[in-house]
Every structure is written in structure tokens, then in C-alpha cells.
Structure 1
Amino acid sequence: MFIQQLYTSCLSEAAYYVESNGEAAIIDPLRDVSEYIELASSRNATIKYIFETHFHADFISGHLDLAKITGAPIVFGPGTQTRYPIHKAADGERFSLGDISIEVLHTPGHTLESSCYLLRDEQDRPHAIFTGDTLFVGDVGRPDLSSGHLSKEELAAMLFESLNHKIVVLPDNVIVYPAHGPGSSCGKQLGPETFSTIGIQKQTNYALKEQNMDAFIQAVTEGLPEIPQYFPINARINKEGYGPLEEVLKKGLQPISVAALQQKIAGESPVLVDTRPSAEFGNGFIPGSISIGLDGRYAEWAGSLLPFNAEIILICHDGKEEESLIRLARVGFENIHGYLKGGFSAWQKAGAPIDLIIEVEADELAMDLPHDPNLLVVDVRKSAEFAEGHVQGAMNLPLADMNDPASMALFEDHHNIYLHCAGGYRSIIAASLLKRQGIHNIRNISGGWNAIKEQTGIPVEKEASMLN
């Protein structure tokens, strides 16, 4: 028996390769499936099954392309309705895989069709459970991403039953392999590890502590973060289906000259996405372009901020075009119409107009703050981060909210805007969005909140009402 977790950090997503005696199964694959095929080939194994724990909301699954290439059936749990062929498994149904088997445990609660897959070893003993978004390390799946017309409280009640009747009754030594790790928006307080055991989770996971249903519902439904805008879109795509990734690549990997891009900007208003590191973007960029660097949680921020129906043109370092495109496709973007040939340097060499973002040190903010009545500190971290500590009098405008037109109405011509996040990645994105909206009196604070807190004596405060 061989198990490999295939973890993608920028999405906090875990897919799994399970193999026994030359037969393999893939659980919750990402859209770009070459890694799974190459792994099976390197081990002289045949992919026999593709298991999906539920309709994922935070990424596009690779089940359709993988099924087309391998001929393996796509397995979902009870109650699943799709527009493409699947094997709809029954609760308790077992699938043989070499000398082991995989048993379906229907565990509704995160979504209605959510199911876990219990791996039984060669002696038919429970060995590991692939829990999808039902159970994480330190948390459980949020119950407000309903795949039906149920409230989060109703789904939480289902999740309580699923956990207590299907999960905690397993032996303590059973390994827990979830679909996500820390940083995922599919839960609210995922732990730092990407796997655990049933016994450890019973001891440490707040949602598995002995409590009645009402207490559980309150615990898992309070304090849930906002649902990213792309989650419902991705869930619908995963349910209804999508075209082959190779077609997205064919359309998106088309080089565009500087002259041709200038014509497009003048006539079609495409969305220019610059995937260079944020520090490079700040030193010079094409006016109106949006910074979302590959060096951060690129796909998540793209899904949260970019319009899905707009034509996208990529601005990348040479050799990073395919990676930039594939990572967008992972969260459902398909309307990508090429990339700037030669990247930003080609634009610069052509003498085309450029813009930049003024960078200031934290101590410069400390000097300016007492003397400039028009200075406005804008903190683009999440509300929970802001509540834990922020510059006294700062405005909290989380980056995920910056596409709301009402957000732009908060700024006036006389404001001198000083932007920051925790370290700098998000604030550069925010600066690019503001500049795209015609707001240019912006300074980005180098090092963000970390530098403000550690290098200055600027008065700070906590948001007590948000911490209670």
C-alpha cells in the first residue's frame, strides 16, 4: 500500500494518490492532472478510480480531464447530481483497489453530497480516512456553503450527526487526511498540520469535543469569514462541468506584441494581470494593470478580485506564462486571451507609458502622521487581523472588499493615503486597484504592519468589540 499527499500551498489544497498492487486512485485532484498521471506511470500503476469528496468551492477539480485521459470512473457520494457521467456511490459501498479497499461514508454537513473515504488495509482494518472538507486538522468544514436551500444551522446539525456517527467512532490510530490545510477559507481555524489522527483530533479539535448539538451549531457557525466571491462560481463549474484545460492553454498562451496590446487597451479594455513579485510591480507597471504576484496566494486573490467574464491579458516574467495561466484556471478562469510578449521589460523598452507606487518606510509614516491632517492610514488586512492590533484611527478596508464600488466612495481628493497589510503583498494589490480607479495619492508602507509594530512608536489599538 502506498499513499502520497500532493499538497498545493497557494491553495492550501491536498489531493491524494493511493495505490495497491498496481492499481491507483486519485482523491480530489486539481485541474492540472499531469502530476497524477506521471506519478502513476513512474510506479507502473493504472489509475482505476477518481474519488471526489464533494463539489469543491475553492478550486476547479481535475476529475473530468483525468477521467477522459485514463477512462477511470468519477465517484461521488450519495445524492450527487451532475451534468456529466459519474458513479453515484451508496453509503457504505466499497471499492477494491489492489489488496485494499475504499469505503464510502456519506457525511453531509459541509455540503449535502459531502462524503469521506475510509481506506481499509490488506487485513480489512481501518487505516486512513480522506475527509475532504468534513474534518480538518483543528477544525471542520464551514456549513454556510450549502449545496441546497438549507440554512447554515441546518447543515451544521447534519455535520454534527455525520461527525458523531461516522468519524469519531473510528479507531484512534486512523490517519486523517483532509482536503485543506492552514490558510484555507473552507474553515475558520485550521491547524498548521496537513494530516493527523482520529485520536489527536478528538483531543484537540474544538468541534469534536463532547457537547450537545446546539452547542456544536453555535461553535461552528459563529465567526465565519466572508465567503470569497468565486466560491459559488467554482462550485457550479464543478457540478455542471467545464472544457478541457488544453483548450484554455491554447487560447491563453498566445503572445501579444506591445503595439497590439496598446490597441487592445484603447479599444477593448481588457483586464491586465501582472504576476511579477509585488516589489517589482511597485517599481514600474503598465497603467491600469492589477498586481497579483505568483509569490503569494495568487489564485485565491485572483478569484476574489477579478471579474470572471472579462478578457484577461497576462503580464509575466519570461517562462512564467503557463504557470500564471494554469493557476488561474485552477479557480475557474478561462477567458484568458494571451500574454505580453517580453513582459513588462518589452513595454518599457518600447517607451510606452508606465506608472509606479511610492514606497515609504514605517518610520516615515511615524514622522508624517502627527503633522498631516489629510493623512489616512488604510489597513487592508482581514477584519480579524485588524481587531488584534492596528494604527490608532486607521481605516480597515479588507482587500477582498475593494472591488465594491462603495469602497471607492470612502476616499476624497484631499486624502493622502498610506496603505499597508501585514507584510506588503496585499497592499500592493490594493494600490494597483486604487490606481486603476483613478486614485493616485498613495504610498505603500514597506514591511506593512510588521514594520509599523516593530520599528516605530506609532500609537496602536485593538478593536475590542470585534474580539469579544
Structure 2
Amino acid sequence: MRIEQIYTGCLAQGAYYITSNGEAAIIDPLRETQPYMERLEKDGVKLKYIFETHFHADFVSGHLDLRRKTGASIVYGPNAKPEFEFISAKDAQVFEIGEIKIKVLHTPGHTMESTTYLLIDADDNEYAVFSGDTLFIGDVGRPDLAQKAASMTQEELAATLFHSLRNKIMTLADNVIVYPAHGAGSACGKNMSKETVSTIGEQKANNYALRANMTEAEFIKEVTDGLLPPPAYFGMNVAMNKSGIESFENVFSNGMRSIKAVEFEAVAEETGALILDTRNNADFAKGFIPQSINIGINGDFAPWVGALIGDVKQPILLVTESGMEEETVTRLSRVGFDNLIGHLKHGFQAWTQAGFDVDTVNRITAGQFEKEFKIGESKIIDIRKEGEYEAEHVDEAYSRPLSSINEWIKDINPEEHFYMHCGSGYRSMMAASILQARGYGNFSEIQGGFNAIAKTRVPKTDFVCQSKILI
């Protein structure tokens, strides 16, 4: 028996590749299937089952492409009703892969079809659980994402999750390994650990939601407290995973079309495409195509695309660093942004060489900010998460998280200058590009963000350890 966790950092997502005696299973696969196909060929095994723990909201699964390429069966737990052929597994049903078994544990609560898969080894020992979004390391799945589909309140879903955990998960032996679908950084929970593997015993001891004497009411209160609104694209990804999607190869081919600079602007106007510039924030600040939006590839790229662009059907034209075209297209496809028109051939350099108009961001250093800042007069917008802001911030700064920019942007007075920062400059450049694309240019974005400001004498609140703050 072999178990491989295939972890994708930008999505904080774990897929699982399992082999035994010439057969294989894959749990919660990502959109691009080539890495799985290469493993199957190298190991000389046949893919028998594709297990899905639930309808994923934060990424598009590769289940249909994998089935098309291998003939493997797609398995969901009870209550799942996708629009394609699949095996509707019953609670406690057992599937055999080589010498091992996978037992279905229906664990509703995060969603009503949520299912945990228990691996039983060749010696009939309960070895590991693949817990999907039911149980994370240090946390449990948020119970608010399936309210509409389940016709239940988040409190009712939380109560359902409480009983799933106590009746199906916590009854397992302490040495059973826990393999979750996500780790720290995912929006599917709120308090996940950076660790990606644990045991039932460790989670009973350390996971706040698995306290031995916890009441149902306490669980509901703690699990639902402090939940931030889910990113706009979540519902669209669920629909794609239920109904079927275009093949990854077609999406990839479209995104890899090279468009010359002389044609790029015309294509943008004809298609209504959004120009997405994925270069690093320092390069973007120095010059970019007017109206383009910056979300740097070297960061939490895909989740931010989903949160800020929202509509997965939005036509997109890409501007990337040289050699990053394939990576960019792949990451966009993972979160369902399939309407890719192509990318600027030879990147931004080709645009400038063609003599077209260029825009810039008024980026200043933290030192400049320190010299210009006037107590009681200067307006500062802090776009970090609320928890980061509460831990420490510039005195009199306003908290306006980037994730809600579409709400607070309408309150900006275009005649009033303001300073803006995040933690390091990655997020504030996203905000700067959105502001300028919508006609707001009377601001200064601070290079290096609060990390740089903290080293100056600009007045700040007292630091509070973020471990004590719900983010």
C-alpha cells in the first residue's frame, strides 16, 4: 500500500493518490490530470475509483477528465446529485482497491453530501481517514456554504456537523491518521493549522471543535462565530463540479494563444475581456496597460482571482512574466476561470516597445510616508484582514479589507487624497489597480506595507498577539 498526499500550496489543497496491488484510487483531484496520469503510468497501476468528499467550492475538480482518460468510476457519498454518471455510495459501503478497502463514512454538516473515507489496510486495520472539509488540522469545515442548497441555516448545519464528528470521526482509534482536504490559507475554514497531516488522537487533544466535554450549543457558537463572507466564486465552482466542465486541455489551449501587442487592445475591446496582469507588484507599479488589474502569480493567486473578479465566465486576457504563461493558465483553470482569450506575446515589454500608452501607480516608500504623514489630517486605508488590523495598525487608520473592496470603494471621495497599505505590498497593489481602473487615482500606495511602516516612527497601536484574535 502507498499513500501520497499531493499538496497544492496556492489553494492550500490536498489530493490523495493511493495504490495497492496494481490498482489505484484518487481522492479530490485537482483540475489538471497530467500529474496523476504520469503517476499511474510510472507505477503501472489501473485507476479504479475517483472519490470525491463533497462538491468543492474553492476549486474545480478533475474527476470528469480522469474518468474520460482512465475509465475509473466517480464516487460520491449520500445526498450527492451531480448531472453525470457516478456511484452514489451508501453510508458504511466498502470499496476494494487491491488489498485495501475504503469505507464510506457519511459526515454531513459542511455540506449535506460531505463524506469521509476510511482506509482499511491489508491486515484489516483502520489506518487513515480522508476527511475532506469535515475535519481539518486544528479546525472543522465552515457550516455556512451549503445553506441555500440544503435549505438549512448555518446553525442547523453546524449541529449536523457536531453529530457527524462525534458519531463517525471521534469514535475512531487515536492512531488513525487524518488526511484533510485543506490546510492554512483556505477559505473553507477559519483556524486551520499549517500542518497537513495529523492523527485522531492529536485532534481530540488540540482541535478546539473536538473538545471532549463540548456541548452542541457551544460547538455551534464557536464554529459559526467570526465567519467571513465566502468568496464570490465559490457558488460557481460548486455548480461546475456538479454539472460538468470543459476539458482542461481545451482551456489550456485557449489561454496559451499568443496575441501580438498591435492586436491586444482590439481583442480586449471586441471581447469585453478583463486584462489580468500577473507580474510582481514592483514591476506593475512602474508601468502597466491602462485598466488592467494586478494579481501577482507569486502569492495566493487563484483565491484572490476568485475573490476579486468573482464571475468565472468573465473573459480574460493575460499579461505575464516571460515563461509564466503555462503556470498562470493552469492556476486560473483550477478555480474555474475558463474563458481565457489568450496572453500578450512577449509580455509587457512588447506593449512598451509598440509605443502604446502606459499607466503607473503612485507608490511611495515607508520613509516617504513617515515624512508626509500628519496626525489628524492624513487619511490612511489599511486593506489587511481585520485580524491583522486589530493586532496592530497605524493610529487613526481605517480598516477596509481587500476582500470587500467592491463594497467600500463607493465610499471613497475622489477629491480627497489617501494613503493605502497592506502587509507587504502584494495586496495593496491589487487594490491600487482596481481603484485606478475605476477612475480613482488620488492616493499613494505604500511600498512594503505595514512590515515597512512598523520600522518607522509613524504612530501605531500597541501590538496584540494574533493567536488571540479571530482572523
TM-score (norm: length of structure 1): 0.96
Identity %: 46
Quick check: 1:452–1:458 contact (8 Å CA) kept in 2? no
How many residues end up aligned between the 2 structures? 464
* Residue of structure 1 equivalent to 2:156: 154
**Counterpart for residue 47 of structure 2:** 47
- Choose the corresponding residue for 2:202, options 183, 195, 200: 200
Q: Tell me, what secondary structure is at the counterpart of 2:66? A: helix
Q: Which residue of 1 aligns with 2:93?
A: 93
| Cα deviation, residue 329, structure 1 | 1.0
**Matched position secondary structure for 2:150:** coil
The answer to whether the 8 Å contact 1:386/1:462 transfers is no
In the alignment, what sits opposite 1:113?
A: 113
Separation of aligned partners in 2, 1:441 and 1:267? 30
1:440 correspondence with 2:441 = yes
**Which of 203, 211, 229 is the equivalent residue of 1:226?**
229
1:364 aligns with 2:365: no
Q: How does 1:10-29 map to 2 (within 5 A)?
A: 10-29=10-29
Unaligned runs of 5+ in 1: none
**Paired position in structure 1 for 2:432:** 431
Deviation at 1:368, TM superposition (A): 1.1
CA 1:268 to 1:25, structure 2 compared with 1: closer, same or farther past 3 Å? closer
Deviation at 1:102, TM superposition (A): 0.6
SS in 2 for 1:7: strand
Describe the superposition over 1:46-99 as per-residue Cα deviations: whole angstroms up to 9, x where unpaired. 111100000000000110111111100000001110100110101011111111
What CA distance in whole angstroms lies between the structure 2 residues aligned with 1:39 and 1:225?
Answer: 38
Write the distance in 2 (CA, Å) between the matches of 1:204 and 1:413.
49
Instruction: Tell me the distance in 1 between the aligned counterparts of 2:47 and 2:419.
Output: 53
Cα gap change, 1:173 to 1:221, in 2 (>3 Å): same
SS of the residue aligned with 2:235?
Answer: helix
Note the C-alpha offset of 1:456: 3.0
Q: What's the counterpart of residue 132 of structure 1?
A: 132
Q: Deviations over 1:155-200 (max 9, x none)?
A: 1111111100110111100000000011111001001200100000
Question: How much has 1:461 moved relative to structure 2?
Answer: 5.7
Aligned to 1:315: 319
Q: 2:288 aligns with which of 285, 288, 295?
A: 285
Q: Which amino acid aligns with 2:179?
A: Y
CA distance in 2, matches of 1:169, 1:53: 19
2:343 to 326, 334, 339: 339
Which residue does 1:380 correspond to in 2?
383
Equivalent-residue separation in structure 2 for 1:266 and 1:21 (angstroms): 56
CA contact (8 A) 1:391 1:461 kept: no
Deviations 1:205-255 (A, max 9, x none): 000002111111111111112211111111111111111111212222211
Quote the offset at 1:257 in angstroms: 1.3
Deviation at 1:33, TM superposition (A): 1.0
Q: Which amino acid aligns with 2:32?
A: D
Cα distance, 1:267 vs structure 2: 4.8
User: Residues 304-326 of structure 1, C-alpha deviation per residue, up to 9 Å, x if partnerless?
Assistant: 11133322100012322121111
Q: Distance in 1 between matches of 2:227 and 2:39?
A: 37
Inter-partner Cα distance in structure 1 for 2:458 and 2:230: 35
Contact 2:394 2:458 in 1 (8 A): no
In structure 1, what residue type is equivalent to 2:158?
A: A
392-401 or 152-161, larger mean C-alpha shift: 392-401
Q: TM-score, normalised by structure 2?
A: 0.95
* Shift in alpha-carbon separation, 1:309–1:99, aligned structure 2, 3 A: closer
1:447-458 counterparts in 2 under 5 A?
A: 447-458=448-459
**1:313 touches 1:337 (CA, 8 Å); kept in 2?**
yes
Distance in 1 between the 2:4 and 2:405 partners?
39
Comparing 429-438 with 244-253, greater Cα deviation is found at 244-253
Within 2, Cα distance between the matches of 1:10 and 1:455?
A: 32
